[in-house]
Amino acid sequence: MRYARTLIALGALAAAGTAFAANRPAGYITICKQNESCNVPASVRVAIGRADQFIYKTLSGTFTCTAATFGGVIAGGVNECSVPTGTGGGTSSSSSSSSSSSSSSSSSSSGGGTPTGSYPGCEMPTGGQTVQLAATQVVPAGTTFDGLNKIYNLSGGGQTEGQPPVFLVKEGGTVKNVVIGLLAADGIHCEGNCTLNRVWWQDVGEDAATALGAAGTVMNITCGSAQGATDKTFQFNGRGELRISNFYVANAGKIVRTCGDCTGNGGPRKIFLTNVIARDVSSTIVGINSNFGDVATIRNLTINNSSTSKQKICQVFKGVVKGSGSSTALGVEFNTPACQVSQTDVTLIPPSVMNTSACSGSCPIP
């Protein structure tokens, strides 16, 4: 844990002992502290609080982080004002109880609509050396590739099918501290159990990553972000499980799709999304094939869209084997065997809207 100032006495250290993250809700980023003047875009749901207790109010423009603004504060220490990640906003002055005083604004690193959003604590590093690969980087079985926060490029970067992966991870391999650059090809392929820890995609190519493992394998993606996946961000072609946590996705078609028409297609496949922030995902958060026994479990999902287009959370499809026609969409489900997600598992940041009417209950397969 890092602190913003040197603590020179044991008493001061004890007072600062509360974890920073506990002073803001999950999916939020601190923009100023108590008695500071802050600024936000129009109609932002701002939280004030500390120690996992919060008061919320929808605000616009410049305001002061005080009890007068929110109708109270949380006793016992310095409160913080925070906004949903990707909203933008910052501190207008270093210490003031009056909104009339102002100075140059210090913006959040994740301004709304820009490709710089992140999950709190999992921010993309900047200024790293760029590495141009001549061929796919293979991560041997059971080993760890530490990219040291460098930017890795291979080729392509568009939606052309059949591109090579930047990284090919063998059974039990790990990739960490890697930024995939603009020449993103087909991202990362995992052939079995694998972990992607602190991996960021500046601009997704064909797909960010593809799970290819057999039944019983787990692909674990944690603490990163992906921007600009025109179609799907993560492709699930194998079996087993795909787990995504503490992750930020922006400007994508989908976050995860189990394959709709692969050669030898089938299931079951299990998807777990936990602590994920989605910004302007145009189609659906998760797409699964219920006829193959796919299951999606979603917890603590935050939707932070820039429009009122109705966001699909768990879209059910009828999958097919390649050459047997096309995969067909069946509807949106909540609290069903296939879509284990409740509307209360989703936080909507205005003006975001959730699609709750495309299907009532389980959608029957024709």
**In angstroms, rounded to a whole number, what is the distance separating the alpha carbons of residues 194 and 171?**
6
Pairing assessment for the beta strands 106-107 and 90-93 based on DSSP bridges: antiparallel
Distance of CA 182 to the CA centre of its chain: 19
Q: Where are the domains of the chain?
A: 18-107, 130-354
Cβ proximity of 270 and 299 under 8 Å:
no
Retrieve residue 173's tokens. Answer: 């391999």
For residues 127 and 120, give the distance between their C-alpha atoms in angstroms, rounded to a whole number: 19
Q: CA 208, CA 201: separation in Å to the nearest integer? A: 7
Query: What is the Cα Rg of the chain in Å?
Result: 22
Domain 130-354 adopts which CATH fold? Pectate Lyase C-like (2.160.20)
The SS3 assignment for 69 reads helix
- Average per-residue pLDDT in the chain? 83
CA torsion sign for 69, 48, 40, 97 is positive
**DSSP β-ladder status, 232-236 and 269-289:** unpaired
Q: Residue 96's pLDDT is what?
A: 31
Question: Which of these, 310, 359, 366, lies nearest to 339 by C-alpha position?
Answer: 359
> Which contacts of 347-350 are long-range, i.e. CB under 8 A and separated by 24 or more positions?
347/27, 347/300, 347/301, 347/302, 347/303, 348/303, 349/45, 349/84, 349/87, 349/302, 349/303, 349/304, 349/305, 350/43, 350/44, 350/45, 350/58
Give the least confident one: 89-93, 125-129, 318-322.
89-93
Cβ(83)–Cβ(46) below 8 Å: yes
Q: How confident is the model at residue 219 (pLDDT cuts 50, 70, 90)?
A: very high
255 vs 235: CA distance, rounded Å: 9
Q: What's the pLDDT tens digit per position in 14-68?
A: 333 333 346 888 878 888 889 888 888 777 888 898 888 888 888 888 888 998 8
Q: Which residue has the tokens 């047997």?
A: 324
Give how far the C-alpha of residue 208 lies from the chain's centroid of Cα atoms, to the nearest Å.
13
- Rounded CA-CA distance 268/351 in Å is 35
Residue among 312, 316, 310, 313 at smallest CA distance from 331: 316
Residue 297 CB burial class (10 angstroms; 0-12, 13-18, ≥19): middle
- pLDDT, tens digit (0-9, with 9 covering 90-100), for 336-348: 999 999 999 999 9
Task: Note the Cα 362 to chain centre separation in Å.
Answer: 27
pLDDT in tens, 238-294: 999 999 999 999 999 999 999 988 888 989 999 999 999 999 999 899 999 999 999
Q: Measured in whole angstroms, how far is the alpha carbon of residue 234 from the centre of its chain?
A: 12
What percentage of the chain has pLDDT greater than the value 90?
56
Rounded CA-CA distance 302/294 in Å is 23
Specify the pLDDT at position 346: 96
Distance, in Å, from the CA atom of 174 to the CA atom of 301, rounded to the nearest integer, reads 25
Q: CA 70 to CA 61: how far, in whole Å?
A: 15
Between 143-157, 177-191, 352-366, the lowest mean confidence (pLDDT) is in: 352-366
Please say if the pLDDT value at position 331 is more than 80: yes
